[in-house]
Copies of this chain bind each other. A is one copy, B any other.
Amino acid sequence: MSASLLEQLIESLRVLPGVGQKTAQRMAYHLLEREREGGRHLSAILAESIEKIGHCAQCRDFTEGELCAICASGSRDRHLLCCVESPADRLAIEQATGYRGVYYILQGRLSPLDGIGPRELGLDKLGERLQQGEVSELIIATNPTVEGEATAHYLAQLARQHGVTPSRLAHGVPLGGELEYVDRGTLSHAFGSRSEMV
């Protein structure tokens, strides 16, 4: 039937995260009605990205080349290594903080039930890197979920084995948050980790 290419377009837009039938329809109509040039560009960039973007040999972040921009840079402090779950987490830290060290991207978290063990996260390679002695502090910035915490403990052990100091991000009440609306776990942790005012 003649609508089939449009239907295929709508269907294929649903691979995007958070995009259901209605949104995919709206996107398809929007592209065809008003953004043909942008759509053509998106198609070309998407194909090129999927073909060319691989993982950085050092930190496993996405990159077109052998090394990502941060690992290739001469101005980053290689004694500090920050371990995050995903490239999005790395980007968030990079945008929010003045961190000048380098990163290691797990591309996941330990989850034995899903078959994701240390090897899948490249922790053997991370161990070798810690062994080399250049890194002095491993900043563990996994997410504060059950699996993220388990991963953090594993990473801390790994760091100690190789004589590297593990550290982790502070947990507590978010800035601008109201105590009344902070969840219990966070509040309890913040209360227990209170520090003396100076």
The chain A residues found within 8 Å of chain B, CB to CB, are: 1-6, 8-9, 12-13, 15-18, 23, 25-33, 35-36, 38-50, 52-53, 62-65, 67-69, 72, 86-88, 91, 107
A61 to chain B, nearest CB (A): 9
A5-B88 CB under 8 A given contacts A12-B41, A15-B35, A18-B23: no
**Contact A32–B3 (Cβ < 8 Å):** no
What's the least CB distance linking A64 to chain B, in Å? 5
| B3 pairs with A68, CB closer than 8 A | yes
A78 to B6, CA, bound (A): 24
Could you list 12 examples of A-B contacts with CB < 8 Å? A2-B65, A2-B67, A6-B53, A6-B63, A9-B53, A13-B42, A15-B31, A15-B35, A15-B42, A16-B30, A29-B87, A44-B47
Query: Shortest distance in angstroms between A58's beta carbon and chain B's nearest beta carbon?
Result: 12
Q: Which residues of B contact A63 (CB under 8 A)?
A: 2-3, 6
For A1, A13, A43, A44, the residue with the greatest tally of chain B CB atoms inside 10 Å of its CB is A43
How many copies, total?
2
A9 touches B69 (CB 8 A): no
CA distance A91 to B26 in the complex (A): 11
Give CA–CA (A38, B17) in the complex, Å: 11
Do B49 and A9 touch (CB < 8 A)? yes
Which of B3, B40, B91, B107 meets A69, CB within 8 Å? B3
